[in-house]
Chain A
Amino acid sequence: MAETLTPKLVPKEISAASAPTAAPFIEIEGVSLYYGASRALKNISVHLEEKVVTAFIGPSGCGKSTLLRCLNRMNDLIDGVRIEGSIKIGGHDIYAKDVDVIELRKRVGMVFQKSNPFPKSIYENVAYGLRLHGVKAKSDLDTRIEESLQQAALWEEVKDRLHSSALGLSGGQQQRLCIARAIAIKPEVILMDEPASALDPIATARIEDLILDLKKYFTIVIVTHNMQQAARISDHTAFFYIGELVEFASTTKIFTNPAQKRTEDYVSGRFG
């Protein structure tokens, strides 16, 4: 499995943010999702590109988080959820019968709205995922942990207290730790569910910088409430409204010249 992962993970220079015409990496085709009888996502088709930040925006309850959670199949955890349609990541149908969810989640990492570090030390938080995936030797662990903490711009702040509890960190630090934890196992895609919504402006700015940094190496899909944030960090933006995809285009286009009236109303703050 490590073999299949490596080629994609070699950091390569990213070409300038491309318009949504290049070869798609995540293909969402006609996805509908039901909670019991109610339909939360309505026939959504969208193609996301590799090593690009795509933002999902829309008023609350529009299904953007739900769609995000479909991408690493976290919706499997909820009772009574049913999904139609297909989602392909890197050409593999992730809802196919032979797919191992565990393997999928290894390749598609996730950062949650509320930071959720394990009640362990900072070191152990990052080591947890690595150990799960077979990194056992102390030296390997040490290097990988330092690497990912540095990538998450947290290393300088915590290098002296790696073995103290992660719960002692500030909210922003905790969230960056969660990002470090997610990137430590070198996923291909990172899903972020409103990662900065509970943080103060300074911590938010650091997370945003970090995301811009990380897109060199990872494909990032971020759900956000904050339209300025979407405008600042994303290359492409998808606007959702009550379970439907209204518009998907480059961020510049969405925020300056949207094709749909509803998009324009939303981004200009007329509703939502």
Chain B
Amino acid sequence: MPDQNQNRRRSHGWMGIHRGHQARPLEWLAEKFIFLVSLSAILMVLLIFLFVAREALPVFLGQTNTALVQKPIPPDDLDKHSPAELQAYLELSPAQFAKMEKSTLRTLLEVKVEAQDEIPENFRKDPDAQANTTEWKYLLHPHQWSGYDHPESIWQPVGQIKKFNIVPLLVGTLKVTLIGLLFAVPLAVGAAIYVSQLARPRVREIAKPTIELLSGIPSVVVGVFALLVMASVLQGIFHYQTRLNAFVAGIALGFAVIPVIFSIAEDALTSVPRAYTQGALALGASRWQTAWQIVLPAALPGVFAATVLGFGRAIGETMIVLMVCSASVMSWSVFDSARSITTTIAAEMAEAVNGGPHYRILFMLGALLFAATFISNMIGDFVIHRFKNKLEGKR
């Protein structure tokens, strides 16, 4: 008579070797190994979050300082300041700081003083030169920089006074993404309805994989096409000034997103039970009435999820926007240039000093992007999951 414990342990997993693992240590080891490896996906998500956030952390903690003119610490006052103060002043990591000898610190302080002396006179008087532009108020709110007549949001990470206002980037990202979605969603959903509900089987068999082939085109290639061909064609139609602008980038982005939305929406539409459609057709509804009044409402959560997942894909797309438009102008106009978050990271990481404020802020943007796509993916997956369960009659 087996005891209860054994029974319970046996009751999950198909044929776990819960018994006799002493007799078969290899089998047992293999099972544990397979389990451990399978955790790698979880580990990777955690590591991505951890290491992107780690590099961005000093921005959140206010440990970065970009003030051009700082109150210098004279090398002779080395002992008067706490290690923490010195570390922040010299922009060193704790590990670096711990390894330094006093003489090295002294040299660094001297270098710093010399650097301060070399700042041109006209900057020294500028009030902005004393500002730490990585503070949140400079990152998020418009600021009246000296030489400007009114407060502005400016992203200008190079130069004597570095301006890190991320609002233009957010606006640019939203602008491009929304144009892309406005273009892609109607097309992709329309095509999904046609292919899944109205088209003849033969047409369906050809159209579906062909549209999905679009996702096989690398985004640099779409970028090249947008840059060389589409930009001119669109300019010819709409007669706007800047040839490369958010509009072109958005449409090109749409190309990249169409297969994603199409695939998920088509899947959702197809998974609406045939009993629904046949019921409607039996009542004398035409095919399009069935599609419009029965299938589409039933599949609406799936179509919504497709849009959300498409948004996640669009907001994270890099190369297309990078190639088509790049200037970071604060403007809501569709026909102005725009610079998205992804573009900014891709274009500027190479010139950012490893570990410097610019580098940290780029990582912070990356963390922001990660969070945005994480949330949109969660929502999309959740909606799809519920939709499928509902169709299968599960709770």
Mark A residues whose CB is within 8 Å of B.
76-86, 95-102
Contact = CB atoms under 8 A, between A and B. Distances in A.
B143 to A, nearest CB: 61
A86 B2 CA distance: 8
Given A76-B15, A77-B14, A96-B2, A83 B7 contact: yes
Interface string B3-36: 0001110111111010110011000000000000
Nearest to B15: A77
A173 B24 CA distance: 35
Interface of B: 1-2, 6-8, 10-15, 17, 19-20, 23-24
A101 B6 CA distance: 14
Given A79-B12, A80-B11, A82-B7, A99 B1 contact: no
Contacts of A83: 2, 7
B19 A97 contact: yes
Contacts of A97: 2, 6, 19
A83 B23 CA distance: 23
Identify the 6 closest CB pairs spanning chains A and B, nearest first.
A100-B20, A77-B15, A77-B14, A95-B2, A82-B7, A80-B11
A80 B7 CA distance: 9
A97 B2 CA distance: 7
Given A85-B1, A96-B2, A101 B20 contact: yes
Contacts of A78: 14
A75 to B, nearest CB: 9
A80 B15 CA distance: 11
A41 to B, nearest CB: 14
A84 B6 CA distance: 11
A101 B19 contact: yes
Contact of A100 (B10, B13, B19): B19
Nearest to B16: A76
B172 to A, nearest CB: 51
Given A80-B12, A81-B11, 13 more contacts: A77-B15, A79-B11, A82-B11, A83-B7, A95-B1, A95-B2, A97-B2, A97-B6, A99-B19, A100-B19, A101-B15, A101-B19, A102-B20
B231 to A, nearest CB: 54
A100 B1 CA distance: 16
Nearest to B13: A79
Contacts of A84: 1
Residue with the highest number of chain B CB atoms closer than 10 Å, among A76, A83, A96: A76
Contacts of B12: 79-80
A85 B14 CA distance: 22
A39 to B, nearest CB: 14
Given A83-B2, A97-B19, A102 B24 contact: yes
Nearest to A78: B14
The B contact surface, by secondary structure, is loop
A77 B2 CA distance: 17
A87 to B, nearest CB: 10
A80 B2 CA distance: 16
A102 B19 CA distance: 10
A84 B11 CA distance: 13
Contacts of A99: 19-20
Contacts of B11: 79-82
- Which of B1, B7, B12, B23 gathers the greatest number of chain A CB atoms within 10 Å? B1
B1 A76 contact: no
Nearest to B23: A100
A100 B20 CA distance: 6
A84 B1 CA distance: 7
Contacts of A82: 7-8, 11
A100 B21 CA distance: 9
B22 to A, nearest CB: 9
A95 B5 CA distance: 13
A86 B6 CA distance: 14
13 contacts: A77-B14, A79-B12, A81-B10, A83-B2, A85-B1, A95-B2, A97-B6, A97-B19, A98-B20, A100-B19, A100-B23, A100-B24, A102-B20
B174 to A, nearest CB: 46
B15 to A, nearest CB: 4
A117 B19 CA distance: 28
A251 to B, nearest CB: 31
Contacts of B7: 82-83
B104 to A, nearest CB: 64
A98 B1 CA distance: 12
Contacts of B2: 83, 95-97
Contacts of A76: 10, 15
Contacts of A77: 14-15
Contacts of A85: 1
B19 to A, nearest CB: 6
B235 to A, nearest CB: 59
A86 B1 contact: yes
B5 to A, nearest CB: 10
